[in-house]
Chains A and B, each alone.
Chain A
Amino acid sequence: MTPEMLLTMIVLVFVIVLFVFEWVRVDVVGILMMVLLPLIGLISPGDAFVGLSSNAVISIIAVIIMGAGLDKTGVMNQVARPIIKLAGRSESRIITLIAGTVGVISSLMQNIGAAALFLPAAQRIAKRVGIPASRILMPMGFCAIIGGTLTLVGASPTILLNDLMTIEGRQLEPFGLFTQTPIGICLLITAILYFIIFGRFILPSGTGESDESVTTSLMEAYRAFDTIFEIHVPQGAAGTGRIAELDLQARYLVTTVAIHHARRNEKNFVPRSTDKIEAGDDIAVLGRKKNVMKMAEEQGWQVKDTLDVFAESLSRTTAGMAEVIVSPRSELIGKTMSETDFKTIYGVNPIALFKGNRIYYSGLTHIRLQMGDTLLLFGPWDRFHILKNYPQPRSLTFSTPLEGEILRPQKAKLAVIWLAVALFQVIFLKLQLSVALMSGALGMILTGVLKIEEAYRAVDWMTVFLLAGLIPLGIAFEKTGTAAFIAEGILGLIGDPSPIVLLGVVGLMTSFFTLVISNVGATVLLVPLCMNMALMAGGDPRMAALVVGLSASNTFVLPTHQVNALIMKPGGYRTVDYAKAGAFMTLLFLIVELTVIYFFYGI
């Protein structure tokens, strides 16, 4: 053993201790390594920061930017909508569709983003069909985690692999974006089958907290609204004419928030009292269900089951509610909303006014506003964002967070095109992953899918520094011969196993390490070690690296895993539920992963 090896081992022990006890955050351990390793002479100062320019880091930055671009244009919502419609009423079909889609989306996007996208819909479907949300959410969460194994850029550990695959000074052939896809697909299918067959036995049947958006909690707080209803005004209906004449607010406590004028084929999202409702029009209203029904009956209107004409424009990702307070020094003080032409200027509908200790639901626009009066507004999120960005002194101060963001649906096609361009370069031109993905990200920025500031803001700096800092450690581990030295020692102890047994041990070891320390940390420490062990045992070092990379995603039993944390309360899960459902999943994961590798990857 050389002094360098000894030093490396000391550093490794130190790093493991830091990972286990978490005295500093994992990414800070990464930064520490970038500084410490050149200081003690284990790597040259020039190599200290190579991690920052590594394939892994650039790929992650590019993937995050492209994902943010897809979010920003609402592409993902458009993907989700038809799938949710297809779900039907059968539990296994709902699980297959939702969990399967989430898995596929996570293959190229952040896994938690995919899960979060489907979370509200999954909860709604569960409620509608009458099955506990817990039966759908955990399959969805687990598939989001597994989805990360579908492509090389699906999860942090696999992205790292190509940068760590150096052995005895030679660079091994890098993995392609889809090398691991067959394994991922088998894992995804296994997970879905596992939950369809055993779900009812291993998942609790409780319903967790319901989907509480700011809009729904505001509706509850004001007590005069159940949800948004869409109504069709048929030919010959009694209720036609100016809104002011119909007097819907005063008679039914119902507020009209949008009108689709059939004759002009035009949608009006800030209907005013002078606007007319005519036969053939569709309107969207807010109010209590019983009031809306009564109104529809008396006016001869038809209430639709779901949003139809306004499905897109009034969906919760594009429009909703916010509560605002009339600010000190606001120009609205002392004036009525009709005097200030509130709807035209702000482009949102006032729904209720909280003044003193009274709430007004009708005649709001004729009440003089005072500082501190609270208004409940309904409108598209982009209008709210514009309002919020007014320079100081703002006339209105927001008392609730804004749920939605400004979307650019008109750029959706461009976002998809750039993603396709990036993938085309990877698959057909065999371009290096980082270059291909970054060109897609750049394309999105150049064509205005998202602004460069938005791209910078989206980047996950914690993951960037974690990867960038630990890559030099992995390199030093291999370069100093320490990995080979330890591998030799371990093999000396356990004898000469066959390659598949060795891979089994590698998978088991990684799955265990990942539970105790960060999965990226586990990958960095185990890849050099396991590649050496595989080489000495006559196996394929690349496969050993792949098993480590994939098994690092085998973290189903952790309730603190980012995806599990997301679904824990909505699913009403307890820690023990993850342990129960996750332990078996962990085992299945290993069996399927090794079986596919054994039969199809030629170990």
Chain B
Amino acid sequence: MAIITISRGCFSHGKEVAEKTGEMLGYKVISRETLIEEAAQVYHVPEKELIQSVHAPSVLERFTRGKEQYLSYIQAMLLEHAVHDNLIYHGHASHMLLPDISHVLNVRILADIPDRIAFMQQSHAISDKEAMRHITAEDQQRARWADYLYKIDITDPNLYDIIIHIKNLNIGDACNIIYHTAQMDAFAATPESRQAIADLALRSRVTAAIESAVKLDMKYAVNANSGIVHIRTGTPSIRKTSYMNQNTQDYLREKIKQETRDEIAQAIKDIPGIKNVIYEIAPPDYT
């Protein structure tokens, strides 16, 4: 009935909390890693690239749009699960993949640094100093990633419904809190919130299909509302290298606009749930 997202830093017990709460509620639990595996299969891209996409971008990547592409695949996979409710997803900035849905309970799990170091050392034979360095670096790079993609500060408490600090509260307590909160009326799915998630799912399927097949080298926007998909995009500019009469200029503009539309239509034609598509395609400029 609810969808729970658990956002956490590395080695902050997020995974344990998610799995245990999942058992208590009988919800399906999926992690970022599961989504990456699924997305790699569905969209035929290497897992390595997808893993990279959930890391902060390099200088070069800020100019290319690789990250957005891979992230759209991950989001589409998550929404395939999310449309069926009763789901716990844990991954960093996980709530950003399911924004503005009323039956989504956004949780952030915090743990103290010494606790995180100790937890890391259980699985890795490294010194305190190394563990500390690793954890700090990872936290910073996750913060940069969220800032780059969503322009948010992941430590901002306003982004979450509840924040649980694993210190005086143990993992079991955390699970209990989430268990009870998830069953409150506030997080019960309503027809409207289900529609909202269906719309979001359709939007991300369309986005992922466009990213996968069309590779528009420019910003575009997709919106879905009860099966009606609205796609707004520009087209790449044309370098005028010699004179052209006006008729030819208009002809080329129309042609490229039409080709872009046809290409998008071809990419999304098999997506279930589309009732109608409205295209808003700006013709190319001459430069």
Q: Which residues of A contact B (CB under 8 A)?
A: 22, 25-26, 60, 63-64, 67-68, 71, 110-113, 116, 145, 148, 154-156, 209, 212, 401, 405, 457-460, 462-463, 518-519, 553, 555, 558, 560-563, 565-566, 569
Contact = CB atoms under 8 A, between A and B. Distances in A.
A458 B287 contact: no
A458 B239 contact: no
A565 B247 CA distance: 16
Contact of B248 (A113, A155, A212): A113
A90 to B, nearest CB: 29
B252 A71 contact: no
A562 B287 contact: no
A565 B248 contact: no
B242 A155 contact: yes
A156 B242 contact: yes
A555 B240 CA distance: 11
A212 B259 CA distance: 9
A460 B259 contact: no
Given A209-B262, A565-B252, A565-B256, A560 B246 contact: no
B241 A458 contact: no
B237 interface: yes
Contacts of A569: 256, 259, 263
B227 interface: no
A562 B242 contact: yes
A219 B180 CA distance: 61
A518 B238 CA distance: 11
Tier of interface size on chain B? 20 to 34
Given A462-B240, A553-B242, A562-B242, 13 more contacts: A25-B287, A64-B245, A112-B242, A148-B242, A155-B242, A156-B241, A209-B263, A405-B247, A458-B247, A518-B287, A519-B241, A562-B238, A562-B240
Nearest to B240: A562
A245 B237 CA distance: 56
A64 B262 CA distance: 31
A561 B241 CA distance: 6
Q: Is the interface of A mostly helix, strand, loop or mixed?
A: helix
A112 B246 CA distance: 12
A432 B239 CA distance: 30
A15 to B, nearest CB: 15
Given A26-B287, A116-B248, A566-B252, A111 B259 contact: no
Instruction: Kindly list the 8 A-B residue pairs having the minimum CB-CB distance in the complex, ordered from nearest.
Output: A458-B245, A569-B259, A463-B243, A560-B239, A155-B242, A460-B243, A565-B238, A156-B242
Interface string B206-250: 000000000000000000000000000000111111111111110
A71 B247 contact: yes
B74 to A, nearest CB: 25
Contacts of B130: none
A83 B256 CA distance: 27
A459 B243 CA distance: 9
A110 B249 CA distance: 11
A457 B246 contact: yes
Contacts of B255: 566
Nearest to A110: B244
